[in-house]
A = this chain, B = another copy of it.
Amino acid sequence: METKSENACFGGVQGVYTHASKATGTDMTFGLFLPAEARDGPVPVLWYLSGLTCTHENAMTKAGAQGWAAEQGIALVFPDTSPRGEDVADDEAFDMGQGAGFYVDATQDPWAKHFQMRSYVTEELPALIGAEFALDMERQAITGHSMGGHGALTLAMSLPGRFRSVSAFSPICNPSASDWGRKQLSAYLGDDDAVHAAHDASRLMAERGFDGPMLLDTGTNDQFLDLLMPETLAEAAAKRRQQSILRLQPGYDHSYFFVSSFMEDHVTFHAEALYAG
């Protein structure tokens, strides 16, 4: 693992690190914020999964999360959204291929060789950071934005016991029924609808739900609302009686101005779960 940069930040350290990934067969870069408390011992971990076109860097620089994480004594992990490189398959569309891994393990050519983002984010990277940094991997929570909201929700529901709480900003809620999802899931995983269902937050909610608290924020002026389909997840969560807070925020759009506006709420929400019991 190579340290790309480390910057003092809200009393802690915002680092960027690169390592050779077995899961993706490429070098992978991630951001990690460690609060001051990590100097004295392991701290809880909040994962932030980013959206389409993003790298590890977008949220790290624009989401305004570090200040609130510092206040709560929580670490933040910012993984990349796909494998990258000249030898890695890609697509002309901004929403396919590099920058658009959708947090699944691809089974179809040409994607299967490198696009193993689920294994990377849920197995390889946790093992690495748990070994290298002062992190309490028994206390993890997860959030994300847009495609990363999809990632946070689907990983949280499909890995019971892993995450104590889940939240999302403007998540893709029903990818198997949306142009943000159908194309990508078919390309990465094939056309079996049962396979798509396992990576669809609304359908996972209907099927199994999440054993913990859930917080969702979406802007009423989000320019991608018809692709996000918050109504399907809202219905499924209410029908299941899922412990949840579902908010439609008036006037906000899909940008990081929106994400940063509500970041305090999300970090505080996760801190309550991470420090309980």
Q: B-contacting residues of A (Cβ < 8 Å)? A: 213, 220, 225, 230-239, 241-250
Contacts and interface: CB of A to CB of B under 8 A. Distances in A.
A244 B230 CA distance: 13
A247 B248 contact: no
A220 B245 CA distance: 12
A217 to B, nearest CB: 10
26 contacts: A213-B250, A220-B242, A220-B243, A230-B238, A231-B235, A231-B236, A231-B238, A232-B235, A233-B238, A234-B235, A234-B237, A234-B238, A234-B246, A235-B238, A237-B248, A238-B248, A241-B248, A242-B248, A243-B248, A243-B249, A243-B250, A244-B248, A245-B245, A245-B246, A245-B247, A246-B246
Contact of A238 (B241, B242, B246): B246
Contacts of A241: 220, 225, 248
A205 to B, nearest CB: 11
Nearest to A249: B243
Q: Which 3 A-B pairs have the closest CB atoms?
A: A231-B238, A235-B235, A243-B250
Contacts of A225: 241
A213 B220 CA distance: 12
A239 B246 CA distance: 13
A246 B241 CA distance: 12
Contacts of A246: 234, 238, 245-247
A222 B233 CA distance: 21
Query: Which of A220, A237, A238, A243: most chain B CB closer than 10 A?
Result: A238
Contacts of A237: 234, 248
Contacts of A213: 250
Contacts of A239: 231
Nearest to A228: B238
A248 to B, nearest CB: 5
A157 B249 CA distance: 19
A2 to B, nearest CB: 43
A241 B250 CA distance: 9
Given A220-B242, A238-B246, 17 more contacts: A213-B250, A230-B238, A231-B235, A231-B236, A231-B238, A231-B239, A233-B238, A234-B234, A234-B238, A242-B248, A243-B248, A243-B250, A244-B248, A245-B245, A245-B246, A245-B247, A246-B246
A230 B248 CA distance: 16
A43 B98 CA distance: 58
